[in-house]
Structure 1
Amino acid sequence: MNYKLVSKHRFIANFSKYRYLLVELVKRDIKIKYRRSVLGIFWSFLNPLLMMIVLTLIFSTIFKRNIENFPVYLLTGKIVFDFYAGGSIAAMKSIKRNASIIKKVYVPKYMYSLSSVLSNFVTFALSLIVLFGVMIVTNAPFTIYILFAILPIFLLLLFTIGVGLILASITVFFRDIEHLYDVFITMLLYGSAIFYPVEIIPESYRFLFELNPVFALISLCRDSFTYGRIFELNTLLYASVVSVVLFILGILLFYKYQDKFILYV
């Protein structure tokens, strides 16, 4: 028990010592992302808006009778998925990308993976401004349940960090994971009901969506932003358990193997 308390205090002290570095790493990642872009960080607003317009033009005709306020429905799902995909992919590559620094200077290695996720979270937060703008333009109701969105967004952050740490740990030893994960992300994109209503899926296959934690998190955010209603309890419990478990698993796995990273990067 004392060992656990000491380890916990060491972790907190270590994190406090390097928290300013974490901020600088997040800033660096954002600058690198937009360094060759003429519009810079403005793309964080423009990209989701343009994607929403294009996809709405394509899919709204097909599903116009199935989905009320399709632009908000689509954009909510898209920005949630984009954050998860972008954050987890960036974290997966973070150790290899910072290998030259890791070999020369001691910095807690999780800082690189964490900053990769947080820099994508900044983009996600900016995308929420676009979502609010689209809600205003489309006369979507602003309800008290929008405030409740902080819960699924927090779970989304935990989930993405957890998956990112797991991927970062595994990818150091098995580089092919990067290519396999790209295929998985594409499959997940079409399996998260971002562009279409889940009701069009035959009931015998809907359990696949119920098992998809990304779809669960998207559904919770849609409850707040699109439908203005309280969360489905089963969905909330499932998303909470999966997010917390993967977050803890990611930390444990990363800490177990981080000392070996230097031998493989």
Structure 2
Amino acid sequence: MNLIQSQFYTLFRYKDLLRELVVRDLKLKYRRSFLGYLWSILNPLLIMLVMTLVFSQMFRAGIDNYAVYLLAGQSVFDFIRNSTTMAMYSVLDNGPLIKKIYVPKYIFTLSKITSTMMDFVFSLGALLIVMVVTGAKFTPYLLATPVLVLQVYIFACGMGFFLSAANVFFRDIQYIYGAFLVAWNYVTPLFYPIELLPSWLRTLVEWFNPAYYYVQHFRDLVLYGCFPTMRIFVGGWIWAFVMLIFGLFVFKKTQDKFILYL
């Protein structure tokens, strides 16, 4: 825990830099875009529409409000995928700056994940639109969504710190992680019910797939109108902090050698 506390202290000192980096990332993403930030809402809507048309007839049996089921799961997984992928390149992309001045190196990784989190929050507008159109029930449990966002954010930070450090020394990690994301996407019940999986695989997914915890947590809040089970809720926090501690440990142990490989 001392490791996390020391990083929080450093983060407080450089909070203005972090804010500027996040704003820069958001502006660069939507630069010269006519619709700008509206794409954060339109993009998930378009993807949801296509996937609903493709998969609804195959997997919708036993799933109430398939559109919300699909978009809730996909939005959470997209946040994990996009934030960790961007974080993986954060140290390499800022190599020239790291060589010139002293800046806590993890700030660059954190800024990528934070800017992606802002995109994720904007994209929730698409989910609200789909909920209204499909007649989904709005319950007080929706107010607990920030807790889910915080869980996924902490988990993504941990993965991002590990990937950004690993990618400095092993450039092949970007290709390995790309293949891993494809497999991870299919073993996470995003567009199909988990009951379709064989019992042995279902057990592995329910206990050892962190994305499942966050997807199920979010669906409980927005689709089923209930608080997640204690296993899902506590398990989500455990995965988040275990990954954060692991990622910070790897990053801190290796960061002094970054300059030799940039």
TM-score w.r.t. the length of structure 2 is 0.94
Which residue is 1:115 aligned to?
111
Does residue 1:33 correspond to 2:29, yes or no? yes
Which residue is 1:257 aligned to?
254
Deviation by residue 1:122-154 (Cα, 9 ceiling, x = unmatched):
100001111111111111001111122222221
Contact kept? 1:72, 1:134, Cα under 8 Å: yes
Give 3-state SS (helix, strand or coil) of 2:223's partner.
helix
Give 3-state SS (helix, strand or coil) of 1:194's partner.
coil
Contact kept? 1:153, 1:221, Cα under 8 Å: no
Q: What 5-or-longer segments of structure 2 have no aligned partner?
A: none
- Give structure 1 regions of 4+ aligned residues with deviation exceeding 3 angstroms: 5-13
Distance 2:237 2:99 in 1: 37
Identity in percent: 41
Matches within 5 A, 1:233-248: 233-248=230-245
Q: What 5-or-longer segments of structure 1 have no aligned partner?
A: none
Which residue is 1:187 aligned to?
183
Does residue 1:226 correspond to 2:223, yes or no? yes
Does residue 1:56 correspond to 2:56, yes or no? no
Deviation by residue 1:137-180 (Cα, 9 ceiling, x = unmatched):
11100111112222222111100000000111111111100000
Which residue is 2:74 aligned to?
78
Deviation at 1:10, TM superposition (A): 5.9
Distance 1:38 1:129 in 2: 19
Q: 1:199 to 1:7 in 2, by over 3 A?
A: closer
CA RMSD of aligned residues (A): 1.7
Which residue is 2:174 aligned to?
178
The total of aligned residue pairs comes to 261
Distance 1:79 1:10 in 2: 32
Which residue is 1:214 aligned to?
211
Distance 2:154 2:33 in 1: 30
TM-score w.r.t. the length of structure 1 is 0.93
From 80, 89, 92, the equivalent of 1:93 is 89
Contact kept? 1:72, 1:226, Cα under 8 Å: yes
